[in-house]
Amino acid sequence: MMHTAAGVEACLPIRSDMDLVWVRQHVRQAAARLGFGLVDQTKLVTAASELARNTLVHGGGGRMEATQVGRAGTQGLRLAFTDEGPGIADLDLALSDGYTSGGGLGMGLSGARRLVHDFDIDTTPGSGTTVRVTCWVGRPPRPREEV
């Protein structure tokens, strides 16, 4: 179980290309504030950029919630991207390496998943999609260390 340190710290709309800029800026600032190194900041911002673009292009818009989390003495940042679009009809295909529907950074969901420590997707065709990712400062805590 994850313990939230400060609740949802931001809920940003994703309705336009300008909103994608705000999402990237917020994620970079939040990651820096939590003590992420430059490489980990860049990985998280890259994943967030791809997921935000998916939310806009494929989900018709939505929102990103950023939450500071802690587990086993380690700080992390959880991002949830939610839309009420058509959902993902073939999740296995969408998560496969090399799959892209075009228009994004070309890394797709599988690329975003590789850039973060924890990745979860909830999608139902016709009911939208929520993708949750978490990155941990320094190293991902092992589940047996949970408190």
Report DSSP letters for 9-71, one per residue. Answer: EEEEEE-SHHHHHHHHHHHHHHHHHHT--HHHHHHHHHHHHHHHHHHHHTTS-EEEEEEEEEE
Kindly report, residue by residue over 34-49, the tens digit of the pLDDT: 999 999 999 999 999 9
| pTM (2 d.p.) | 0.85
Domains for the chain: give ranges and CATH numbers.
Answer: 10-136 (3.30.565.10)
Reported as a pLDDT band with limits 50, 70 and 90, residue 1 is very low
How many whole angstroms separate alpha carbon 85 and alpha carbon 91? 14
Amino acid at residue number 135: C
How many whole angstroms separate alpha carbon 20 and alpha carbon 61? 11
Kindly report, residue by residue over 3-41, the tens digit of the pLDDT: 444 566 899 999 999 999 999 999 999 999 999 999 999
